[in-house]
Chains A and B, each alone.
Chain A
Amino acid sequence: MSSTATLLRLGPSAPPPPAAPAPPAPPDRERLARQAVLLGAVLIGYALARGRGDGEIGPWGIIEVLPPTYLGCLAVPAVIFLDELYRRRRTAVLLPALLAQTVLVYGSVAFAESMARFPTAWLHAGFVTEILRTGELARGVDARYSWPGFFTAAGAFAATAGVDPAGLLRWAPLCFAVANLLPLALLFRALHPSKRVRWLGLWVFVAANWVGQDYFAPQAFGFLLHLSVLAVVATAFRRGTAGRYAPRQQAALIGAIVAAATAVAMSHQLTPFMLAATLLPPALLGRIRIRLLPLVLATISVAWVCYGAQDFWSGHLHEILGLGDSGSSVATGVGGRVVGSPQHQAVVNVRIGLAGTVWLLAGAGAAHALLRRRAGLFTLLIAATPLLTVAGQSYGGEGVLRGYLFSLPAAALLAAEALVAATGAGRRVVAYAGVALTLAALPLTLVARYGNESYEHVTPGEAKAIAALYDLAPPGSTLICLTQSISWRQNGPTRYDYPAPVLSESGPASAHDLIRVLSQNPRGGYVVVSDSQVAYGREVQSLPPDWGAGFERDLLGSGRFAVALGNADATVYRFLPATAAAVR
């Protein structure tokens, strides 16, 4: 039989043998030139920004210290990306352009500042250090110890890689930003047929993600896994995908989803519930083939809260169930943030404007996609559900930010649909206007993302002062900061006593209040005053520019404090016992 078939193939009616393979195509010089320009833009951007953020940063954030030429570098990937998108759409150009854009936006602070930014990231490094040192969870100290999955995994990572956890902080945001692009690309490929819309959706996501939840934190890790689960569900388990993957492949993917849900449930309070809630409407409406998946995800999350977070939920059940007042949530999240100095209010308004623009475009894109039947109900549901969950939570202002973040993937795709529809079909003027608008929006992205840099960055002087403080202060002594905007506790949150900051919503405490608190600890106490803390009071609570200096005068005037150490960026005051003060 087989010989007959062979004879038939070789007979006179058989097709001619395949032609000799074509010689390899010459290298595409234009493509190589574009890639070289992109690499050059990143390298020049790095050289231009390096060290610029180590001094004082003004109220508009990182953009104040970056040279105008950096903004030129920022525009290069955008121009190449948009040009390529509307001409040849080669992945070999679009992908490097997108990566270069991501690096220049998300890496701008890592380029400009030689220390890792953001106080909460330093605290998270402290959690990891504490777990590495003790092998235990200090649950009574912080609620986040009830969701230690990310911290224990980061501990294993740091121990195996042989680095200090604080050493992971500086580049973590850029790593998360780049890592998020892969599941996003897979998700978009499953959800939209147009390559142009998909690539533009990725670019919109990069430009519009100002939320800043991508630092060294469980929520960044949870968001990456959230995107990955969504991408796999949309690719392999959406309605109409039956038979696309072999049963063993599908079983393995379901196992991976369950494992990821378990890891997220162990790592963060909100993300697992957001994941279950995002998949619930598509499951109820039959848009995904595993209808029980949201129930399984929710069960895993509740099970962890009952077991691992028992210490926390017994006192905060209302916060976890979060059946909050929608009006108050939105008011706290949006209205409550438009406070502080005029510049800070403007920065917050830029954020609100960016979010509103994305949602408006997404609404237009949704209408267009539905009319043209280009995007399914699945996309609309995963864009809208996170926003609806915000209304029913009592997570405070953070919840609104998270609602925006979790809706952004699908919203970015729908916004791209609107932009492509508006600029397509020979509308050259609209296209040029769109490109001009996009280039103008890039600096706004930097303002929205890093507009708090005046008090969220860490200067080398401040870091040195904190390190010297830890060398000086005996373990167990009381350490007091002016405001929450201080990057410390990286050696663990339990080695010292950290009472509430001096500055509360009602204003700064007096030196007398501090004396009362510090007198209770026989091991002594210290007060840290730094530029970033003073900037926080000035920008967020509208205190006068010299409020920090006034507070320091009060401290010294009380006769109970003396300068222990200091530099241009930070001063540490030692609390003097009553006897020593009397001698002075």
Chain B
Amino acid sequence: MTPRVRLGAAAVLTGWSGLVLLWLAVAGASGGVPALRVLLIGPLLVAGPGTACALLLRFASRALCGVVAVLVSCPLLVLMAQASLYSGHWAPLGVGVAQLVLTLLLSAVALLRERHAAHV
């Protein structure tokens, strides 16, 4: 994956996760068309943090980036949901929002890093 592709991917991911968080804050957990919500939020939940991690780690192979995206994000969602349930503070929406915030933070770091590398 070239630096330019990484930069573009990080920018898209940052913008996407930021907009979704904004939408959730404004419209709440049930605003909008359900199918559209699944299409917009679902990919970020099952692959968001992992994609950001793959961008941070700068793997050359796109296929490996894709696999790492799932390999990190899905377990993270499971572990956070399990922690929420077993701690007695079951908050499924909180788990999803945490996943989105993590995506936003990690992809923002990746974006800043790639931009810095591009300027240097």
Interface residues of A (CB under 8 A from B): 131-132, 135-137, 148-150, 152-153, 155-163, 167-168, 179, 182-183, 185-186, 189, 221, 224-225, 228-229, 231-232, 235-236, 245, 248-249, 252-253, 256-257, 259-260, 262-263, 266-267
B9: Cβ under 8 A from any A Cβ? no
C-alpha spacing A152/B75, complex, angstroms: 12
With contacts A162-B31, A167-B34 taken as known, whether A256 is within 8 angstroms of B71 at the C-beta atoms is: yes
A-B contact pairs, 5 of them (CB 8 A): A153-B78, A157-B46, A167-B34, A183-B67, A229-B71
Q: Which residue of A lies closest to B40 (CB)?
A: A161
Q: When the two chains form their complex, are residues A161 and B34 in contact, meaning their CB atoms are under 8 A apart?
A: yes
The interface residues of chain A, by DSSP majority, are classed as: helix
Q: Could you say which of A157, A160, A182 contacts B67, with CB atoms under 8 Å apart?
A: A182
* B111 → A minimal CB distance (Å): 19
With contacts A155-B92, A163-B38 taken as known, whether A228 is within 8 angstroms of B67 at the C-beta atoms is: yes
| Residue of A131, A150, A260 contacting most chain B CB atoms (<10 Å) | A260
The 3 A-B pairs at the shortest CB distance, nearest first, are namely: A160-B96, A135-B90, A263-B75
Q: When the two chains form their complex, are residues B78 and A160 in contact, meaning their CB atoms are under 8 A apart?
A: no
* A309 → B minimal CB distance (Å): 13
Q: Could you say which of B74, B82, B99 contacts A148, with CB atoms under 8 Å apart?
A: B82
Q: When the two chains form their complex, are residues B92 and A256 in contact, meaning their CB atoms are under 8 A apart?
A: no
C-alpha spacing A183/B74, complex, angstroms: 14
Q: When the two chains form their complex, are residues B29 and A159 in contact, meaning their CB atoms are under 8 A apart?
A: yes
Q: When the two chains form their complex, are residues B81 and A155 in contact, meaning their CB atoms are under 8 A apart?
A: yes
Task: Determine the chain A residues whose CB is within 8 A of the CB of B32 once the complex forms.
Answer: 162
Q: When the two chains form their complex, are residues A135 and B71 in contact, meaning their CB atoms are under 8 A apart?
A: no
Task: Determine the chain B residues whose CB is within 8 A of the CB of A162 once the complex forms.
Answer: 29-32, 34, 37
The interface residues of chain B, by DSSP majority, are classed as: helix
**B 82-102 binary contact with A (CB < 8 Å = 1; else 0):** 101100001011011101100
Q: When the two chains form their complex, are residues B64 and A186 in contact, meaning their CB atoms are under 8 A apart?
A: yes
A-B contact count (CB 8 A): 143
B112: Cβ under 8 A from any A Cβ? no
* A430 → B minimal CB distance (Å): 31
C-alpha spacing A60/B77, complex, angstroms: 39
Q: When the two chains form their complex, are residues A257 and B63 in contact, meaning their CB atoms are under 8 A apart?
A: no
B16: Cβ under 8 A from any A Cβ? no
With contacts A159-B92, A249-B57 taken as known, whether A152 is within 8 angstroms of B71 at the C-beta atoms is: no
C-alpha spacing A174/B64, complex, angstroms: 22
| Residue of A186, A231, A253, A256 contacting most chain B CB atoms (<10 Å) | A256
With contacts A262-B79, A266-B82 taken as known, whether A157 is within 8 angstroms of B96 at the C-beta atoms is: yes
Q: When the two chains form their complex, are residues B63 and A189 in contact, meaning their CB atoms are under 8 A apart?
A: yes
Q: Which residue of B lies closest to A255 (CB)?
A: B72
Q: When the two chains form their complex, are residues A160 and B75 in contact, meaning their CB atoms are under 8 A apart?
A: no
C-alpha spacing A150/B82, complex, angstroms: 9
Task: Determine the chain B residues whose CB is within 8 A of the CB of A150 once the complex forms.
Answer: 78
With contacts A162-B30, A225-B75 taken as known, whether A156 is within 8 angstroms of B95 at the C-beta atoms is: yes
